[in-house]
Structure 1
């Protein structure tokens, strides 16, 4: 903008300078010419007056010197140079120069004009006698008969004629100079008042292009420029609000992506990773943020997944498939490759979506296994009931001993069937979070003693010692019935799987802000490879012995769900042939006493 201002200033300077020179030249010439004309007319009038005074006073050229005295007197009264010339060009009288030293004037233009018949002959030139620039006027001098006997001439310095004009021209030059200076100052002010706001608008626009939307136009100039600046400010405000909205939307989108349960990865048209979310890192068990800008082939080691991505690039269509990823543990993921328009025209980016369905497939398998196991477990008592019923109907009713034996067996199987159905219903409610908690502050020892009272007879049959160990009373907030069922299941299993003369004890204590209840026995123990499955429904380490012990295979599953409902966790430690311990950790303060599991 400064360069433009210099150009405008230079343009106006040249334009006004040229105009001033032309104006000065024309005006000065006009003034000089008018002064010359005016002074010439005055000189001619004086000459005619002088002519009338001397005309007819002499008769011949030889008598012309008689006029010298009269002309001398006249020259004393006027400042103009008076010259008397005969018809041959000889100077008879000159008021300013000795006539004897003056050359012949026959060739002078004004002299010739008079000889040719002009009433007045005029001319301006440098005088050869006085060496100054003069204006000459000449008239014929006649005798009484009207015959031309000589020429009378008046001359005046030109600079004297235009003396006032020179003053006017000087004033004109001063005026033009002042006007030129004022024009320069006004042009500078005008260009500055226009240029600075435009420069500021340019600065604001440049900052806006750099996404700095806080900058505003603040100068004051002409209404049109201020209107443009205000428009730029409105644009800046609009861009700032839009950018804030875009940032908020981008933040919301990133928060949404980062909190999705689906792994998200964005690939550009060059198959390079441009964005990943935390779930993608969890699924692939690798920090992928350092892989941004690298090819996806450095991340995905699955041939099936890479093949699916390549198919999406080739066909530019959505691809979907369920793929097993072999990382540390096998993971089953539902893969979707979605093409989306890229930032550049005619480019396509691709979103890789991985949804970890490993747990879903595991639960589906658990559900399938549960149905199969439940059917198998239910079939045994049902088959027994059906078989004994058919036998009785076929004629065994008549044998009272057989009848009583069969009815006892049928009662036992129906009781086992009823217990199994109750356990299944309870497990279903626990899974669906439909069990209401009635939390209260209790001492753990009280519940353990209640359990021992229930199992005392069963333990005495096997001569198993039941004991409680604690250093101090253990108090906690918990649902009484659920905790009683947990301990009852664990102590009951310990009694069932501990040989005669064994020991089953319950240890009570604290661990930080948790109550710890540990059920320990010296029974048969659980093999290491089986320990990870003991909490599965209907899973039995020794199926025959479990059924003989009257178990349904659902006890430990129920225990696990009950402990989790109480915001705790359970740990298993066992060694084959040496015994087993189940360690339960429950919070001392329950977080929500009004909690109802739905």
Structure 2
């Protein structure tokens, strides 16, 4: 990666591409679903009470606008999918407030839109559908084919109807979430039982052989002790990681931020990983902007870097170079940890940050680790007010990115 090259855009900088928003949208299972009377009733009410020829419940992902419900005049196109970049509704998510357009021909946001050019949508009123967790899924909107001055009363009425739409969505999410929690509990118990059983079985076998006395004074006895010690360490790491993640996600882990030099953090992290990297014939290199510092808890930042460097070394082939890059991005520092390993499939890029998730189920056995490291990294970075994401191409390696603030956050944030 050249010095002047730019990393893939942090999706969190674009409201439409925000991974958390998209995850919330897909969790509703409404995108691409069939029409339903509960939503159609609300669009009919919106059209009738606001005397508008067109009313829609639109859901927006990062590429398309999907009409979940559409009250429209005869001849309106049946295809509910439309490009999101030219839609009027996208502005309700970008601006997170009602969008009022009296004449689209005079509004620079939409005057070149295909919706004006091909469908003659001249007037528009849209209210964002924002869940209680803050994520905007789409819009309840009305539109017309002539210029129109929308009144404050009409905006309030549409906002009230939009609240009914989000209530309907959240009732469904609540049922789905309860089912998901039950499934996750079962899965968590199963995974933890397996993670505990494997090292305990190894420890028990090693100690049993030693206790029998058959290995006294032999090289095998020393090997059995080493196996028992290694698996004891594995159990300790698993328990510590679980406790760390629980404290982080519940907000009970207190950070102690201070102004700290990035060069020192990277040096400490590389020193901690150097032995393991050498053992797999991987070289660690660093490139840091001069004088770069961050406002962060140094111990926790080192924990993030050590985890990312360890993973990068484990999954890189012998003779490869793992590179750490830290750059000044104004109010933030951007960190990159790049490996030349096998990469991560596109459908696993988000899942790898979840608990006990591996790219391959054999990784825990072949590469070691608890499967909690990346979830801990994400929680630490987010608690600092930063973001973490990954770019990867299968067969060509991965680059993990994260940001940290360079100045203290204002009180209350």
Q: TM-score, normalised by structure 1?
A: 0.41
**Cα distance, 1:272–1:353 mapped onto 2, change above 3 Å:** same
Structure 2 residue 246 is matched with structure 1 residue 474: no
1:42-83 Cα shifts (integer Å, max 9, x gaps):
xxxxxxxxxxxxxxxxxxxxxxxxxxxxxxxxxxxxxxxxxx
Q: Cα offset for 1:436? A: 0.6
Cross-structure match for 1:452: 270
1:549 partnered with 2:367: yes
Aligned partner of residue 534 in structure 1, secondary structure: helix
Equivalent residues in 2 for 1:126-141, closer than 5 Å? none
Residue deviations 1:87-121 (CA, integer Å, cap 9, x gap): xxxxxxxxxxxxxxxxxxxxxxxxxxxxxxxxxxx
What is the aligned counterpart of 1:499 among 293, 310, 317?
317
| Residues 439 and 292 (structure 1), Cα distance of their counterparts in 2 relative to 1, 3 Å cut | farther
Q: Deviations over 1:141-184 (max 9, x none)?
A: xxxxxxxxxxxxxxxxxxxxxxxxxxxxxxxxxxxxxxxxxxxx
1:360 CA displacement: 5.1
Tell me the CA shift for residue 449 of structure 1: 0.7
1:414 aligned to 2:222? no
Report which structure shows greater RCO (CA 8 Å, sep ≥6). 2
Give the whole-Å Cα distance in 1 for the aligned partners of 2:362 and 2:44. Answer: 59
On the 8 A contact 1:437/1:594 being kept in 2, the answer is no
Q: Name which of 389, 404, 408 aligns with 1:586.
A: 404
- How do 1:177-256 residues align onto structure 2 when only pairs under 5 Å count? none
**What is the rounded CA distance, in whole Å, between the counterparts of 1:422 and 1:493 in structure 2?**
18
SS at the partner of 1:468?
strand
Show the counterpart of 1:390.
Answer: 208
Q: For 1:273, what is the secondary structure of its paired residue? A: helix
Residue 369 of structure 1 is matched in structure 2 by 187
Match of 2:45 in 1: 273
Judging changes above 3 Å, is the alpha-carbon distance between structure 1 residues 527 and 493 closer, same or farther for their aligned structure 2 residues? same
How far apart in 2 are the matches of 1:585 and 1:386? Answer: 43
Corresponding residue for 2:350?
532
Distance 2:380 2:240 in 1: 15
Are residues 287 and 531 of structure 1, via their aligned partners in 2, closer, same or farther at CA, if it must alter by over 3 Å? closer
Q: Distance in 1 between matches of 2:206 and 2:289?
A: 54
Kindly provide the CA deviation profile for residues 564-587 of structure 1, in whole angstroms up to 9, marking residues without a partner as x: 111111111112232110011223
Unaligned 5+ segments in structure 1 are 1-261, 299-330, 332-349
Summarize the Cα distance change of 1:408–1:528 in structure 2 as closer, same or farther, 3 Å threshold: same
1:274-328 Cα deviation digits (max 9, x unpaired): 599xxx86699867898499xxxx9xxxxxxxxxxxxxxxxxxxxxxxxxxxxxx
1:405–1:465 distance in 2 versus 1, CA, 3 Å: closer
- CA apart distance, 1:563: 1.2
CA distance in 2, matches of 1:583, 1:457: 24
Alpha carbons 2:316, 2:340 under 8 Å: kept: yes
Cα shift at 1:560: 1.1
- Match of 2:35? none
* C-alpha distance in 1 between matches for 2:357 and 2:308: 15
Point out where structure 2 has 5 or more consecutive residues left out of the alignment: 1-27, 29-37, 50-56, 79-136, 138-163
CA distance in 2, matches of 1:565, 1:557: 12
User: Separation in 2 of the partners of 1:541 and 1:576?
Assistant: 11
SS at match of 1:564: helix
Distance 1:371 1:592, change over 3 A: farther
Which residue is equivalent to 1:247? none
TM-score by structure 2 length? 0.58
Contact map agreement 2:259 2:294 (CA 8 A) in 1: yes
Distance in 1 between residues matched to 2:185 and 2:411, nearest whole Å = 32
1:227-263 CA-to-partner distances (Å, cap 9, x unmatched) read: xxxxxxxxxxxxxxxxxxxxxxxxxxxxxxxxxxx9x
In structure 2, what is the equivalent of residue 563 of structure 1?
381
Q: 1:589 to 1:404 in 2, by over 3 A?
A: same
The higher radius of gyration belongs to: 1
Residue 559 (structure 1) shift: 0.7
SS at match of 1:396: coil
Provide the C-alpha distance between the structure 1 equivalents of 2:211 and 2:279, rounded to a whole number of angstroms.
36
1:379–1:288 Cα change, 3 Å: closer
Q: 2: CA distance between counterparts of 1:407 and 1:543?
A: 28
Contact kept in structure 1, 2:280 and 2:314, CA below 8 Å: no
Greater Cα offset, 448-457 or 537-546? 537-546
Match of 1:381 in 2: 199
Matches within 5 A, 1:31-70: none
Other-structure match for 1:513? 331
CA distance in 2, matches of 1:555, 1:488: 10
Please report how far the alpha carbon of residue 394 of structure 1 lies from its aligned counterpart in structure 2 after TM superposition.
4.0
More helix, by proportion: 1
Cα deviation digits, residues 333-392 of structure 1 (max 9, x gap): xxxxxxxxxxxxxxxxx9984424245544543443222211111110111122333333
CA–CA distance in 1 between the matches of 2:399 and 2:407? 25
What SS class does the counterpart of residue 404 from structure 2 fall into? strand
- Tell me how large the CA RMSD over aligned residues is: 3.9
CA distance in 2, matches of 1:470, 1:392: 50
How far apart are residue 464 of structure 1 and its match?
2.3
